[in-house]
Amino acid sequence: MLSRVALAATAAPSLKNAALLGPGVLQATRIFHTGQPSLAPLPPLPEYGGKVRLGLIPEEFFQFLYPKTGITGPYVLGTGLILYALSKEIYVITPETFSTISIVGLLVYVIKKYGASIGEFADKLNEQKIAQLEEVKQASIKQFQDAIDLEKAQQALVQKRHYLFDVQRNNIAMALEVTYRERLHRVYKEVKNRLDYHISVQDMMRRKEQEHMVNWVEKQVVRSISAQQEKETIAKCIADLKLLAKKAQVQPVL
């Protein structure tokens, strides 16, 4: 009954939301599940079930009778009902009764003796299952955490990118400088080459002119010396030589 009220309460808002849609609005906006999602997160399972006395009768019955009859009410009611059923033979005593009594007695004895240990065993199995799932969950959480840390580290690296760019910029500037100087040097060499060429051309011209002039002057001089002048100069040279020879002969004696 309570669940029915809860269902009605959750159905009402979603119905109201559906009623707001006109026939033409359906294409424009579709309202999906707008009710409270009741599935996540799940509330944890209750620890113990409802209390039951004698393994058969829920506690609520005892609480129901407590205000009117006190503590012993339900037990007296039970005894009275059993005696009534026996005496009026609503419950018939047959040979089966004795087998029933022995079976029920055995069951009660076994349950009383081994119930707790079986419960612990089941609890341990449950715990193992839960521990496994928890492990998986923790492993997956750890994986995600590691991924997050990696991402953060890489993001931090992004902040240091400017070092890389500075180095690259420096490299490029240096390369530019080097090529600039290289070209400057080349320009200088080329210009010097051209100037040297002009200088050497000038030198050569001057040398050639000098030689030519010298040759021409020699040739003119040689030409101007006529044959007669040649004989006279040769005779003079011989007379001078003889004089010098005489002088030379005289000199060593002294």
Partner 1 sequence: MASVIPVKEKKLMDVKLGELPSWILMRDFTPNGILGAFQRGYHRYYNKYINVKKGSISGVSMVLAAYVLFSYCLSYKELKHELLRKYH
Q: What is the CA radius of gyration of the chain?
A: 66
Query: What length does the chain have?
Result: 254
Task: Output 93 or 248, the one with its CB closest to partner 1.
Answer: 93
The phi, psi pair for 46, rounded to 5°, reads -65, 155
Whether the link from the prior residue into 41 is cis, omega within 30° of 0, is yes
Amino acid at site 231:
K
Q: Is there binding between residue 224 and partner 1 (CB under 8 A)?
A: no
Is 5 a binder of partner 1 (CB under 8 A)? yes
* Measured CA distances, 23 to 12, 15, 30, 96 (Å): 20, 15, 12, 70
CA torsion sign, 244 to 246 to 248 to 251?
Answer: negative
Residues 31-70 that bind partner 1 (CB under 8 A): 45-50, 52, 55-56, 58
Q: Does 154 bind partner 1 (CB under 8 A)?
A: no
Q: Which of 71, 93, 153, 227 lies at the binding interface for partner 1 (CB under 8 A)?
A: 93
Shortest CB 125 distance to partner 1, Å: 12
CB contact at 8 A, 86 and 74: no
Out of 68, 89, 153, 163, point to the residue binding partner 1 (CB under 8 A): 89
Distance between CA atoms of residues 182 and 207, nearest Å: 36
71 binds partner 1 (CB under 8 A): no
The residues in 96-115 that bind partner 1, with binding defined as CB under 8 A, are 111, 115
Task: Please pick, from the candidates 87, 154, 155, 159, the single residue that binds partner 1 as defined by CB under 8 A.
Answer: 87
To the nearest whole angstrom, how small is the minimum distance from the Cβ of residue 24 to partner 1? Answer: 33
CB of 1 to partner 1, least distance (A): 4
- Does 3 contact partner 1 by CB under 8 A? yes
92 binds partner 1 (CB under 8 A): yes
Question: CA-CA distance, 151 to 202, in Å (whole number)?
Answer: 76
163 in contact with partner 1 (CB under 8 A): no
Cα distances (Å, whole numbers) of residue 47 to 18, 56, 81, 190: 39, 20, 34, 99
Select 112 or 231, whichever has its Cβ closest to partner 1. 112
> Which residues form the interface with partner 1 (CB under 8 A)?
1-5, 45-50, 52, 55-56, 58, 87-89, 91-94, 111, 115, 119, 123, 126
